[in-house]
Structure 1
Amino acid sequence: MKYKYIPLILFISSATWVSCSKSQKKNTALPPTPVNVQAVEKTDATYYDQFPGTVVALNSVELRSQVTGFITGIYFKEGEVVPKGKVLYEIDRRLYEATYQQAKANLASSQASLVRAQKDADRYTQLLKQDAVARQIVDNAIATLETSRSQVAASAAAVKSAQANLSYAIIKAPFTGRIGISQVRLGAQVTPGSTLLNTISSENPIAVDFVVDESNIDRFVKLQNKALKQDSTFKLQLSDGQAYNHPGKIAVIDRGVNNQTGTMRVRIRFPNPQNELVDGMSCVLNVLNTASGNQLVIPYKAVVEQMGEFFVFVAQDTIAKQHKIKIGPKVKSNVVVLGGIKEGDQIITEGLQKLRDGGHITLGAPKQAPQSQQQAGK
């Protein structure tokens, strides 16, 4: 008899446990997440595309000797700006001076022989008219005259060659520019065409070279045809992050596409009055995006990145709906949105950490944890 009521007791206990479980789940349901929202608006967004670039001198020349010899003079200070025509190096001129003087003497001798041969030819020609001399003698005189003329021409060419070699012994600046560190010292022997003496490059104006892919070529061709003067289309950012104060303009677009990389080189010319840009330095070229203008712009803090994709939460009454978006460039603390949301949507800007797609929300600033709890968490 004592076991008669056991099933009844078990049934009552199970019902009580189920009722308590439902009550506990109801009591532990997550409350709505407090969030702040902001309406999506269109605004005038000016933004730039970035390209890594390299500063290059518009004129840059490696100075090399055209004659052999020993350096006997260096007439500049390394690193200074030298004017066009300034004497930079001198190679031992004695041998070339002697060769030049000898060539001039040979020319004078050839010219004297030509004068004598001309007189002989004239004299024998006159005697031939009087039948006072044999025809063979006249022919020999005329041949000697032609030989003398050839010798004069050869001597004159030798003089020009010797004079050129003598002038090559003096190396001058081909244009106004900054000269680098000398690669040779006094007494060093130089070989024609192979010994590098120095490098000189112009500084103002200067250029920046960068490459663009095939899809962007038409864009820069249009910019080249349009840009008749310097404007804000091309801006420069230096390697230290500072902005360069002078805008640039397209100087030249390369003749063709590199068939290995599929890119084309573009050169932008910049004024360089303070010599801030130095040949060879790296920089970032900012090119005004042609899509700049009236665009959807949202705070960048509202964007959530997941696996290389970008999302925002849109408030729909009391529900947060996740939308995948396509973002454009950043504009300060904002970002341009190219698709995925529309003007007027209420996007959530604060309280994103606890949000899930379809989660309940309530408008209002997310509560901050007490200072004591924040310090304890740290």
Structure 2
Amino acid sequence: MRKVRKDVAMKKALTLRVFALLAAAALLAAGCSAPGAKGESTVDLKLDNRPVKTEAVAKRKISDPREQVAEVVGMSAMDIIPKASGQITQVLKKRGDVVQAGEVLFRIDNREAETSLKKSQLKVKSSEQTLAKTVEDNANSRRNLQDEITKAEQKASDAEKDYNKLRNDFDGGAATQRQLEQAEQALKNARMDVQAQRNKLTALDKTNSLADQQTEVESSRISLEEAQRSLENYDVKAPVSGVLTDYTIELGGTVSPNGKIGQVQQIDPIKLKVELSEPSYELVKNKQELAYYSPDNPAEKGMAKITFLSNVMSAATKSYSLELEVQNPDQKLKPGTRAIVQLTTEAEEQVAAVPTLSIVREESNSFVFVLQGDTVQKRKIKLGRISDAYQEVLEGVKEGEQIITSGQHQLKDGQKVEVAKPAPQGQPAPPAQEPAKK
């Protein structure tokens, strides 16, 4: 009995000890977590007085100007189409050569055309000689008629004098009536002869006996001009200034009229063609000109005028067509080559940026802490491109605002902070103190 009582007493004592330990642990835990506890007050004091570093949001070069490859094409292309047929006797230009408008590219056998030209020249000469002789004959006829008129007028004058003398004689009884009548008739005949000669001269002047010869001369001259133009067609010339493309003429070959044998692409000015993605389209849609350069000489840049920018995406290529015009007097840019077009400028690549280490990332969102007096504001931001230690900020902060760059992962919105003083000149800045962790 005594042994049983002793075991029960020991169990009671052990139970009391366990309860006492649990109670002590509970009190200790309550003391640590209770508001105003000494331990937490010390931690909060450290958080409120944490020294942090800051840096102003500033513009920085985020990247080089964005570029895209452009195709160099002629401003316009003119087909080379011969107007004569025959065998090629001389080739003066080859594919890829730069030619000037009117410059001879190749020659076609023109012997038949030269013969035709000589015949036309002879015909013109003959018709001109015939016309000249007719003109001379007409002049002689006119002079003869004028002489006849002069003679007739003189004869009429003499007849008039004789008639007047006979009238005086008749009045004086020295001439008979018959003699007077004969004199009067002679005067009338002389006057009629004058009028007849004058009528002949008038008829000669009114009659254009040269019309047929003049028509013949004009016709032969037209034939001569046609023969000259035809002969010129055997020298095939460049229709415009530019570069010869699709040109495969060979000595001894033959050509026929109205058959395309090549092209001349105009190269001053010259055109740059670019196909833009939608983001690239947004970069240039409000611009008037863009910089460009040749891959062979990137240091030498020029400006190209935007002549066309499609505002509708092509359903086939899923791109926007851009065309630029470039003055090319030195002909350095040639069709079929490539050029680089800068979609942005150096100034446009200077953007507001923050240190990448200052960014606090929470799931898909990004934040920075902005210093406002002695407190910080947690600000959501929209990020862009990244370059080395900085990243572009599209939205959320503006240039000049101070961003927390150390200890920001332990900060809370609205928390008070102490800004670390900059290190003396020539000495490294002390490392930022990390807060004590609970």
Shared fold, TM over 0.5: yes
1:55 aligns with 2:55: no
Counterpart position of 2:107: 90
Identity between Structure 1 and Structure 2 (%): 19
Amino acid at match of 1:246: E
1:314 aligns with 2:364: no
Residues 333 and 270 of structure 1, relative CA distance in 2, 3 Å threshold: farther
1:166 aligns with 2:231: yes
Residues 340 and 282 of structure 1, relative CA distance in 2, 3 Å threshold: farther
2:355 and 2:330 map into 1 onto residues whose CA distance is 37
Q: What SS does structure 1 have at the residue aligned with 2:228? A: helix
1:324 and 1:42 map into 2 onto residues whose CA distance is 15
Deviation at 1:56, TM superposition (A): 2.7
Q: What SS does structure 1 have at the residue aligned with 2:133? A: helix
Deviation at 1:173, TM superposition (A): 4.9
Counterpart position of 2:382: 325
2:111 and 2:383 map into 1 onto residues whose CA distance is 75
1:279 and 1:347 map into 2 onto residues whose CA distance is 53
Deviation at 1:164, TM superposition (A): 1.8
1:42 aligns with 2:58: yes
Deviation at 1:115, TM superposition (A): 0.5
The Cα offsets for residues 193-252 of structure 1, whole Å up to 9 and x where unpaired, read as 43224546558x7553458979967631xx6xxxxxxxxx613374xxx772221124x5
Counterpart position of 2:117: 100
1:267 aligns with 2:332: no
Deviation at 1:55, TM superposition (A): 1.3
Contact 2:241–2:264 under 8 Å retained in 1:
no
Contact 2:274–2:321 under 8 Å retained in 1:
no
What does 1:216-231 correspond to in 2, within 5 Å? 219-220=287-288
Q: What SS does structure 1 have at the residue aligned with 2:299? A: coil
Contact 2:84–2:257 under 8 Å retained in 1:
yes
Deviation at 1:320, TM superposition (A): 11
1:300 and 1:74 map into 2 onto residues whose CA distance is 67
- One of 201, 204, 219 as aligned partner of 1:138: 204
Residues 270 and 71 of structure 1, relative CA distance in 2, 3 Å threshold: closer
The Cα offsets for residues 240-287 of structure 1, whole Å up to 9 and x where unpaired, read as xx772221124x554x876977977431346767x4x43133444114
Q: How many residue pairs are counted as aligned between the two chains? A: 304
- One of 283, 292, 295 as aligned partner of 1:235: 292
What does 1:8-47 correspond to in 2, within 5 Å? 39=55, 41-43=57-59, 45=61
2:233 and 2:121 map into 1 onto residues whose CA distance is 18
2:137 and 2:124 map into 1 onto residues whose CA distance is 20
- One of 321, 334, 351 as aligned partner of 1:278: 334
Deviation at 1:93, TM superposition (A): 0.5
Counterpart position of 1:345: 403
- One of 292, 295, 299 as aligned partner of 2:348: 292
Q: What SS does structure 2 have at the residue aligned with 1:246? A: strand
1:147 and 1:311 map into 2 onto residues whose CA distance is 100
TM-score by length of 2: 0.51
1:116 and 1:332 map into 2 onto residues whose CA distance is 99
Amino acid at match of 1:41: V
**Structure 2 residue runs without a partner (length 5+):** 1-25, 27-52, 150-195, 314-319, 414-431
1:122 aligns with 2:180: no
Contact 2:101–2:240 under 8 Å retained in 1:
yes
Contact 1:124–1:137 under 8 Å retained in 2:
no
2:230 and 2:242 map into 1 onto residues whose CA distance is 25
Greater strand percent: which structure?
Answer: 1
Counterpart position of 2:212: 147
- One of 272, 283, 293 as aligned partner of 1:208: 272
TM-score by length of 1: 0.58
